[in-house]
């Protein structure tokens, strides 16, 4: 019997756990699931005979060495900052490891040692990163195998509320970590377009948009991700003239969000004095010019240069940021204060369902003809536990776990799924489970 140790049983693990339990009998697995909250695990496994719930605290990792020793493979669904601790324990005890997270510098440095020990650490197996890599590489390899030359690669992903539950003026609700949304894009975005390197500083990011439309789910705007250039070696596209990765939102979101950026409300680098006794109205006013005789409803649009009765102001007013409601957060940063209000207003209601949208757009040439290939994916959540985010993060992790344990994937070292022997079997099973891309190629 193969032993699987899953560390972390948070929101993104429901579909992962369901897959492991469903296949436990046929694959002859026993699954140990460790989390600091035992009740969370017990609800997910529901007394399954091939699973156990164990209390696990990453801060006391040596106390749980016996769990690692008896496992054939460890899945780390802990916060990414803890993966190096788990990885070191796996290396020392000759265990394979799987994560959904980006490969960190610490993990990358273990590559040689892992190869010497014939171990595999497979990473970036979620949705973004993960499904985006696999689906993109399949198209890229197909084009290259035909003799085609890649001219442009654009990829974008969004975690959004499903259209039928989209009922607020921002057309957005939190479907993932709220903090990541609030601080998204900070730094400088970089990409290459038609052979020219382009750089967008944070204060201009949400005004430099592209647009797209996906059948059945409508229109979207795209703002660039922080660093698209690093994906050139990942996708073996070092000489491509255009490569841009981005995040998808509904039209109008970025223009309104940009107001928060311009005011400084997304800053996470300092704390607001006496924030626990401040109201949201006072918080916003503290970022505007001193003019005690003018209400902030007039002061803000004049300061930023927007229509005081326009859609942007309606979005901000709807959030309640002009209300005299106490913040009640001690020593809070502007980003933390904004996040608290957004969590109240952008929460998913009990019956709401989320949606993952992904699109790749590739331009290429073959035999003096130019083509465009568009590939899109839409995944809708089933309920509040099996969300679209949980499905698309957890399912490829689970499939990769099975493929490693049954010997289909035989690599050693640190890997992400950008080679055909890794991405093809995962994509094939994802398609069987309804996670399927719609692809169309046309001559330009």
Token pair for residue 73?
A: 């493979």
For residue 435, what pLDDT is reported? 97
> pLDDT tens digit string along 28-60?
999 999 999 999 899 999 999 999 999 999 998
CATH 1.10.10.10 assigned to domain 2-126+391-434? The reply is no
Question: What gap in Å lies between CA 432 and CA 434, rounded to an integer?
Answer: 6
> pLDDT tens digit string along 170-206?
999 998 889 999 999 999 999 999 999 999 999 999 9
Q: Do residues 337 and 272 touch, judged by C-beta distance below 8 A?
A: yes
Query: Which ranges in the chain are annotated with CATH 1.10.1870?
Result: 257-338
Token pair for residue 202?
A: 């944070």
Q: What is the arithmetic mean of pLDDT over 123-132?
A: 96
Q: Do residues 40 and 54 touch, judged by C-beta distance below 8 A?
A: no
Question: What gap in Å lies between CA 120 and CA 236, rounded to an integer?
Answer: 21
Split at pLDDT 50, 70, 90, the class of 62 is: confident
Question: What gap in Å lies between CA 244 and CA 16, rounded to an integer?
Answer: 30
Does 169 score more than 90 pLDDT? yes
Name the residue among 183, 134, 138 with its Cα closest to residue 157: 134
Token pair for residue 222?
A: 């795209």
Question: What gap in Å lies between CA 14 and CA 18, rounded to an integer?
Answer: 6
Percent of the chain with pLDDT over 90: 96
Does 63 score more than 90 pLDDT? no
> pLDDT tens digit string along 99-117?
999 999 999 999 999 999 9
For residue 400, what pLDDT is reported? 98
Q: What angle do CA 390, 396, 397 make, to 5 degrees?
A: 85
Q: Do residues 213 and 151 touch, judged by C-beta distance below 8 A?
A: no
28 strand-pairing partners: none
Fold of 131-255+349-386: Dihydrodipicolinate Reductase; domain 2 (3.30.360)
Q: Which residues, other chains included, contact 340 with Cβ-Cβ below 8 Å and sequence gap of 6+?
A: 327, 329, 332
Q: Do residues 354 and 175 touch, judged by C-beta distance below 8 A?
A: yes
Split at pLDDT 50, 70, 90, the class of 64 is: confident
Instruction: Classify burial at 338, counting beta carbons within 10 Å of its beta carbon; exposed 0-12, middle 13-18, buried 19 or more.
Output: buried
CA atoms within 13 A on the CB side of 223: 25
CA 32, chain centre distance (Å) = 26
Architecture of domain 257-338: Orthogonal Bundle (1.10)
Q: Find the DSSP H helices in 274-416.
A: 280-285, 296-304, 311-319, 334-345, 388-405
Query: Which ranges in the chain are annotated with CATH 3.40.50.720?
Result: 2-126+391-434
Question: What gap in Å lies between CA 51 and CA 34, rounded to an integer?
Answer: 11
Tokens 């993060």 identify what position? 393
Give the single-character DSSP code of 324: -
Token pair for residue 415?
A: 């890997």
Query: Which ranges in the chain are annotated with CATH 3.30.360.10?
Result: 131-255+349-386
For helices 420-432 and 131-145, give the axis angle rounded to 10 degrees. 110
> pLDDT tens digit string along 315-372?
999 999 999 999 999 999 999 999 999 999 999 999 999 999 999 999 999 999 999 9
The number of beta carbons lying within 10 Å of the beta carbon of residue 170 is 20
N- to C-terminal Cα distance for the chain?
54
- Give every strand in the sheet of 51-55, ordered side by side: 51-55, 29-35, 2-7, 73-76, 96-99, 120-122, 413-415
CA 368, chain centre distance (Å) = 38
Name the residue among 265, 299, 297 with its Cα closest to residue 283: 265
> Which phi-psi region, left, alpha or beta, contains residue 170 (left: φ > 0; alpha: ψ -120 to 50)?
alpha
CA 136, chain centre distance (Å) = 16
């Amino acid at each position: 019997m193969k032993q699987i140790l899953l560390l972390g049983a948070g929101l993104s693990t429901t579909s992962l756990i369901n897959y492991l339990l469903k296949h436990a009998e046929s694959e002859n697995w026993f699954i140990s699931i460790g989390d600091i909250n035992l009740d969370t695990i017990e609800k997910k496994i529901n007394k399954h005979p091939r699973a156990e719930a164990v209390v696990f605290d990453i801060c006391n990792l040596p106390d749980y060495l016996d769990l690692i020793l008896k496992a054939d493979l460890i899945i780390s669904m802990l916060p990414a900052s803890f993966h190096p601790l788990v990885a070191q324990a796996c290396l020392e005890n000759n265990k394979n490891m799987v994560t959904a997270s980006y490969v960190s510098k610490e993990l990358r440095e273990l590559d040689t040692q892992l190869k010497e020990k014939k171990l595999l650490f497979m990473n970036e197996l979620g949705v973004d990163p993960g499904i985006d890599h696999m689906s993109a590489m399949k198209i890229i390899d197909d084009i290259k195998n035909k003799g085609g030359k890649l001219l442009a690669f654009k990829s974008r992903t969004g975690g959004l509320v499903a259209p039928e539950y989209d009922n607020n003026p921002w057309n957005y609700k939190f479907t993932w970590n709220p903090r990541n949304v609030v601080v998204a894009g900070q730094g400088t975005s970089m990409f290459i377009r038609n052979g020219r390197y382009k750089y967008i500083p944070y204060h201009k990011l949400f005004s430099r948009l592209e647009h797209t439309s996906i059948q059945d789910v409508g229109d979207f705007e795209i703002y660039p991700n922080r660093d698209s250039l690093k994906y050139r070696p990942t996708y073996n596209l070092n000489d491509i003239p255009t490569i841009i990765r981005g995040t998808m939102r509904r039209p109008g979101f970025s223009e309104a969000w940009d107001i928060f950026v311009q005011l400084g409300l997304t800053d996470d680098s300092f704390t607001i004095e006496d924030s626990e006794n401040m109201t949201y109205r006072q918080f916003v006013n503290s970022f505007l010019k001193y003019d005690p005789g003018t209400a902030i409803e007039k002061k803000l649009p004049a300061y930023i240069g927007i229509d005081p009765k326009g859609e942007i102001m309606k979005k901000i007013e709807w959030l309640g940021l002009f209300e005299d409601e106490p913040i009640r957060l001690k020593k809070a940063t502007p980003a933390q204060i904004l996040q608290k209000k957004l969590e109240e207003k952008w929460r998913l209601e009990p019956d709401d369902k989320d949606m993952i949208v992904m699109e790749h757009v590739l331009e290429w040439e073959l035999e003096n003809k130019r083509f465009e290939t568009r590939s899109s994916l839409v995944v809708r959540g089933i309920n509040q536990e099996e969300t679209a985010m949980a499905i698309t993060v957890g399912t490829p992790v689970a499939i990769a776990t099975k493929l490693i344990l049954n010997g289909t994937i035989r690599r050693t070292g640190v890997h992400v799924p950008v080679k055909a022997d890794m991405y093809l079997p995962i994509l094939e099973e994802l398609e069987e489970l309804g996670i399927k891309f719609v692809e169309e190629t046309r001559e330009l």
